[in-house]
């Protein structure tokens, strides 16, 4: 189960600079569209072979100069609830401010480990100035310069050392783990209730760790599955419910611990930024996806045409990943609830698809011959062989080429689309790699 680190602190202390520095190596690998806001909110960090997630609480604020103290307070409280380690960033060139003290007051009471990060320590003299942060009552300030990167390696070591050993919950790998995600009021609690009915239908409550158990196993309508983090979804927090930050923090954990995410959209509202952000979290974690257009009972014109338009609008917004089930449902009337579970189960199976090498080559090589990668600088690119990699999280394929560096993204997408036409890979991300023959 993944660890989550939250960066908190008042505006302009260097939170986002630190976030970028810590996530940089990884970001370059995942090949995201550059510069979208969601890249500033959530990222993955890899350090000495360990991976964890990190959120910048400041990334949610549109204009950080105008931020209200109240809002910072809410974000800090939420970070305490959800994160495994908190990085409390202060600015050594500015010294202790009132707002720092207010944040420190909240953090001193927290049970989560807090690392006090004295940023902008660009030279040795400033290390001495850091001493004034002892007054915050959060232990030794850890001096770094996010801009130059100095101290950040040691900071990462320190973060890893603070993660508590988690008791792994024992789950049956054969049984799918579903997470219901979506923005507030999309109908997550309602659909969960529709899935499971009364509390007494719970098959087993897995003995949890110190926190609430994150998996609950159900056996309903002939489906055997775990629901991830339903307690977190049901435990509503009036103070923070309205914040996008809240729904994203809550979602991260659920998504990371699932196989398939059931993304709830509100039919009466269309697709908004928040939906896309949650979708992007699902994508980045390479989880399976089923989209539910909920509250379908409220839509007056339910013609095929309207449905088709809805579908293509969704796929347009989620492109280039478009191969996933979309179910028009109502958590209230329970219309198509069964279909949602059915689709989620199918996606779970698609994630474990194995295509025998002989079949893969038989189908794909003639296609490649007919539509070869475009030649570049007069050089012909030949792909002679392909195979699926064993033991991967999602189906991953290697195509061997004489000049792999010349096979570009559009051609990889072409290969992906053709595989999706030939095999049932609906709802699961797949990876296509080109390697040297």
Binding status of residue 185 toward ligand GDP by CB under 6 A = yes
Of positions 187, 325, 373, 395, contacts ligand GDP by CB under 6 A: 187
Q: How far is the CB of 411 from ligand GDP (least distance, A)?
A: 38
When asked if residue 58 is in the footprint of ligand GDP (CB under 6 A), the reply is yes
Walk across the sheet containing 215-220 and list its strands: 202-205, 215-220, 223-228, 177-182, 260-266, 288-294, 326-328
Rounded distance between C-alpha atoms, residue 18 and residue 2, angstroms: 21
Strand ranges inside 145-246, DSSP E? 177-182, 202-205, 215-220, 223-228
Residue 119 Cβ vs ligand GDP, minimum distance, rounded to whole Å: 5
Two structure tokens written together for 245: 């930050």
As beta bridge partners, residue 217 has 204, 226
Q: Name the minimum Å distance from CB 145 to ligand GDP.
A: 4
332 forms part of the interface with ligand GDP (CB under 6 A) = yes
Residue 331 touching ligand GDP (CB under 6 A)? yes
Question: Judged by CB under 6 A, does residue 122 bind ligand GDP?
Answer: yes
Stretch that binds ligand GDP, among 167-175, 183-191, 300-308, 380-388 (CB under 6 A): 183-191
In the complex, least distance from residue 11 CB atom to ligand GDP, rounded to whole angstroms: 4
For residue 14, the SS3 value is coil
- Candidate list 297, 311, 342, 363; residue touching ligand GDP; CB under 6 A: 297
Report how far residue 19's alpha carbon sits from residue 7's, in angstroms, rounded to the nearest whole number: 8
188 counts as binding ligand GDP under rule CB under 6 A: yes
Q: Does 17 bind ligand GDP (CB under 6 A)?
A: yes
SS3 4: strand
Which residues 6+ apart lie within 8 Å of 158 measured at CB? 115, 142
Q: Is the dihedral of CA 93, 96, 100, 106 positive or negative?
A: positive
The one among 251, 258, 294, 428 contacting ligand GDP by CB under 6 A: 294
Instruction: Compute the distance between CA of residue 170 and CA of residue 190 in angstroms, rounded to an integer.
Output: 27
Residue from 182, 325, 373, 429 touching ligand GDP (CB under 6 A): that is 182
Residues that bind ligand GDP (CB under 6 A): 9, 11-17, 58, 64, 119-120, 122, 145-147, 182, 184-190, 233, 294-295, 297-298, 330-332
């Amino acid at each position: 189960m993944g660890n989550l680190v939250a960066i908190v602190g008042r505006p302009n202390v260097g939170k986002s600079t630190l976030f970028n520095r810590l996530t940089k190596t990884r970001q370059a690998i995942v090949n995201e569209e550059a510069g979208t806001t969601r890249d500033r909110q959530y990222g993955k960090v890899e350090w000495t072979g360990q991976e964890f997630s990190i959120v910048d609480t400041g990334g949610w604020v549109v204009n950080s100069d105008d931020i209200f103290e109240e809002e910072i307070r809410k974000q800090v409280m939420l970070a305490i609830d959800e994160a495994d380690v908190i990085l409390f960033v202060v600015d050594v060139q500015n010294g202790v401010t009132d707002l720092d003290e207010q944040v420190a007051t909240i953090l001193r009471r927290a049970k989560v480990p807090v690392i006090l990060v004295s940023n902008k320590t660009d030279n040795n003299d400033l290390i001495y100035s850091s001493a004034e942060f002892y007054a915050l009552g959060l232990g030794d300030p850890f001096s770094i310069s996010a801009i130059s990167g100095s101290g950040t390696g040691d900071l990462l070591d320190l973060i890893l050392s603070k993660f508590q050993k988690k008791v792994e919950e024992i789950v049956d790998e054969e049984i799918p783990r579903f997470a219901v995600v979506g923005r507030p009021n999309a109908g997550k609690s309602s659909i969960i209730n529709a899935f499971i009915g009364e509390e007494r239908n719970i098959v087993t409550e897995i003995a949890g760790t110190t926190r609430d158990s994150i998996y609950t196993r159900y056996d309903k309508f002939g489906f055997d599955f775990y629901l991830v983090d339903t307690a977190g979804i049901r435990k509503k927090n009036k103070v923070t419910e309205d914040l996008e930050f809240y729904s994203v923090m809550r979602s991260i954990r659920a998504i990371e611990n699932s196989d398939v995410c059931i993304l709830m959209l509100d039919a009466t509202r269309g697709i908004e930024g928040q939906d896309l952000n949650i979708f992007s979290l699902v994508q980045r974690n390479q989880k399976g996806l089923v989209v539910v257009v909920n509250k379908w009972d409220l839509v007056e014109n339910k013609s095929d045409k309207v449905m088709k338009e809805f579908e293509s609008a969704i796929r347009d917004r989620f492109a280039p990943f478009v191969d996933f089930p979309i179910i028009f449902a109502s958590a209230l009337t329970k219309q198509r609830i069964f279909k949602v579970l059915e689709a989620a189960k199918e996606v779970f199976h698609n994630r474990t698809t194995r295509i025998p090498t002989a079949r893969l080559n038989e189908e794909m090589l003639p296609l490649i011959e007919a539509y070869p990668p475009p030649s570049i600088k007069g050089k012909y690119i030949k792909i002679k062989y392909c195979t699926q990699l064993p033991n991967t999280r999602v189906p991953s394929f290697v195509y061997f080429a004489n000049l792999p560096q010349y096979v570009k993204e559009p051609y990889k997408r072409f290969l992906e689309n053709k595989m999706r036409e030939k095999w049932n890979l609906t709802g699961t991300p797949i990876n296509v790699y080109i390697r040297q023959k």
